[in-house]
Structure 1
Amino acid sequence: MITITALTKRYGRTVVLDRLSMEVHPGRVTGLLGPNGAGKSTTLRLLLGLGTPTSGTALIDGRPYRELRRPLHRVGALLDATAVPGGLTGRHHLAALARANGIGRARTDAVLEEVGLAGAARRRVAGYSLGMKQRLGIAAALLGDPAVLVFDEPANGLDAEGIRWIRLLFRRLAAEGRTVLVSSHVLSEMQHTADHLLVIDRGRLVADAGTAEFTARSAAVPVLVRTPAPDELRRVLLEAGARTTPEADRALTVHGLEVSRIGDLALAHGLAIHELTPRPTSLEEAFIALTAPAGGKD
């Protein structure tokens, strides 16, 4: 399990992480979300011993990463797929990591096959596309067959088939009882991949919930309203504080009012309603509703 407790990181007067506390449990895919500058990458770097916190702790099974012996057997990570010397072949890169961690050659071949790079293993990394480099980074993370896996933007450069493959891979790893933490800006994909979400904004945890729960409790649930009098209903709803978007066939999408409130307003003003349907909130809508008011930036 990953346990982060009161983790703080300052650069001069700038506070990047502000007493951040959270847990990542095994057996599920956990998504780490947040606006740019929220502290996601800093959190992962501190977790993996690539920086020193100002205060607080980031532990893997109760120990700092730097204290792990042969860490690839315990933790696999992908933070930057391009951070591989271009002159190495894919096989040589993995073989060097394997030797340093006491991992046999057969495992190198196995992970190259698993990520779909067996046919490109003897090519130099400089000739790899970004998607191929991502696959090589995932192979390196899997090399020691670890119980904990950490990925930062792993879908960058992958095509549609690659994104589907990585989604299924993460789900399988979690189903095997591993701890899988994925930081990503691709919210539409995270909605289909992550079982649980941790959302940070300005260095603080602002949400810790299952993906379905997170989207369901969002105040941004839109409602499709179909009426023979859209202009009249729109004026009524605007006066009540709603936001509306015109749709085809004399319909409106309404934001900011619950279904029951919309129906009551229409009845009070004698306006007929032919359809009143809540639309499922996307992860993107819920995320923006939570982080934008707090000052999140693109």
Structure 2
Amino acid sequence: MIHVHNLTKRYGATTVVDGLTFTVAPGRVTGFLGPNGAGKSTTMRMILGLTSPTSGTATINGRRYRTLPAPLREVGALLDPEAAHPGRTARAHLLWQARGAGLPRRRVDEVLELVGLAAVAHQRIGSFSLGMRQRLGIASALLGDPAVLLFDEPVNGLDPEGIRWFRGLLSQLAAEGRTVLVSSHLMHEIQTVADHVIVIGRGRLLADMSMAELAARYTGGIRVVASDTTPLTAALVSAGAEVRSADGALLVSGLEAAHVGEIALRCGIALRELTPQHTSLEEVFMELTAAATPHRSGSIPASERSQA
């Protein structure tokens, strides 16, 4: 488990991380989202003891990273795929890490096979593509078979096969009861693999909830066509929903579709339609971070569009 409490980082007058508090629980994939400059990488570096916080704490299984007796066996991380000497081979890079952690040599071969680099284990890292370096970084994170894993933009450079493989890996790690924190700018990837999301902007917490809660709170609602809308509306409002009329139907927000159906059944009201109005994670992200995005793109002036 990762626990961050009131974590703050300032560089002079600039506050990069501002009083963050959240918990990354085991047994699920947690997506860590935010615009560029939101403080995601700085937060992950503080969790790993690479950057000292101005105030607050970041602990892994109740201890600061620097006090862990066997850190490689407890925590694995991929923060920078370039953090490997280009003159070393992939196997040599992992081997010195294994020796330092007291791991057997066979573990190096196991993770190279797992990430698909066994055939190029004796090639120098300087000849690797970005995707191959990402795979090597993932192998390094998995080397000690840790229970806690952090990945910062792990699918950058991976080809479609690699992305699909990594999705499966994340699901497997979470199913094994591990704590998995993944930062990414690719909303579709997070929507595909995450069970829980933490969203920050300008170093502050904007959202900390399950994907199901996020969907219920930020979807465009549920379109309901019923035989008798007046008593159903009253029952839904009583259950905490917001209800409005639209084109002969009800638009219900604040409840999941299954809950709406159960309420209608209890009221003895027949439903002719019960359709969630889906909103993508990207749309939710844009709504949440609208006021916390430091660099916003403009549109092409009409005069330039007409010349294109």
- Shorter-chain TM range is 0.7 to 0.9
| Distance across 1 between alignment mates of 2:274 and 2:100 | 62
Say which SS state the counterpart of residue 261 (structure 1) adopts: strand
Counterpart-to-counterpart distance in 1, 2:294 and 2:211? 20
1:202 CA drift (Å): 1.1
Residue 41 of structure 2 is matched in structure 1 by 41
Amino acid at match of 1:217: R
User: Shift of residue 111 of structure 1?
Assistant: 0.4
Partners of 2:81 and 2:137 within 8 A in 1 = yes
Partner residue in 2 for 1:243: none
CA drift of 1:82 comes to 1.1
TM-score (norm 2): 0.79
Aligned 1:1-298 pairs, distance under 5 A: 1-218=1-218, 221=220, 260-263=244-247, 279-295=277-293, 297=295
Distance 2:283 2:149 in 1: 28
Aligned equivalents of 1:66, 1:125: Cα separation in 2: 28
CA distance in structure 2 between the aligned counterparts of 1:8 and 1:88, rounded to whole angstroms: 37
Tell me the distance in 1 between the aligned counterparts of 2:49 and 2:69. Answer: 13
**In 1, Cα distance between equivalents of 2:117 and 2:293:** 42
Counterpart-to-counterpart distance in 2, 1:213 and 1:106: 43
Query: What residue identity is the alignment partner of 1:34?
Result: G
Where does structure 1 lack aligned partners over 5 or more consecutive residues? Answer: 225-257, 266-274
Structure 1 residue 213: deviation in Å?
Answer: 1.8
SS of residue in 2 equivalent to 1:217: helix
User: Which residue matches 2:270?
Assistant: none
Q: CA deviation at 1:290?
A: 1.0
1:3, 1:58 within 8 Å by CA — same for their partners in 2?
yes
What amino acid does structure 1 have at the position aligned with 2:112? L
CA distance in 1, matches of 2:118, 2:293: 45
Whether the 8 Å contact between 2:36 and 2:293 is mirrored in structure 1 is no
Shift of 1:197: 0.4
Letter in 2 for 1:193: V
CA shift for structure 1 position 289 = 1.0
The Cα shift of 1:157 comes to 0.2
Separation of aligned partners in 1, 2:245 and 2:290: 25
The residue type equivalent to 1:156 in the other structure is: N
Instruction: Please tell me the residue identity of whatever aligns with 2:290.
Output: A
Q: Distance in 2 between matches of 1:193 and 1:24?
A: 15
CA distance in 2: counterparts of 1:86 and 1:159, whole angstroms: 21
Q: 1:187 and 1:116, CA in 2 relative to 1: closer, same or farther beyond 3 A?
A: same
CA contact (8 A) 1:31 1:198 kept: yes
- Distance of 2:197 and 2:295 partners within structure 1: 19
Report the Cα distance in structure 1 between the residues aligned to 2:200 and 2:246, rounded to whole angstroms.
Answer: 33
The answer as to whether partners of 1:259 and 1:276 remain within 8 angstroms in 2 is no
- CA apart distance, 1:295: 4.2
What number of residue pairs does the alignment pair up? 256
Relative to the length of structure 1, the TM-score reads 0.81
SS at match of 2:245: helix
Q: Distance in 2 between matches of 1:145 and 1:77?
A: 11
Q: Distance in 1 between matches of 2:163 and 2:286?
A: 23
CA distance in 1, matches of 2:248, 2:72: 60
SS at match of 2:113: helix
Query: Quick one: distance in 1 between partners of 2:179 and 2:207?
Result: 19
Would the alpha carbon gap of residues 276 and 213 (structure 1) be closer, same or farther in structure 2, given more than 3 Å must change? closer
Q: Hey, what's the Cα distance between the residues in 2 that align with 1:63 and 1:94?
A: 26
Do the aligned partners of 1:201 and 1:296 also contact (CA within 8 Å) in 2?
no
Contact 2:20 2:204 in 1 (8 A): yes
Q: 1:211: Cα distance to partner?
A: 1.2
Gaps of 5+ in 2: 224-241, 250-272, 297-308
Cα contact 1:259–1:278 (8 A) shared by 2: no
State the identity %: 61
1:75–1:146: 8 Å Cα contact kept in structure 2?
A: yes
Q: 2:260: which partner in 1? A: none
Structure 1 residue 262 displacement after superposition: 2.5
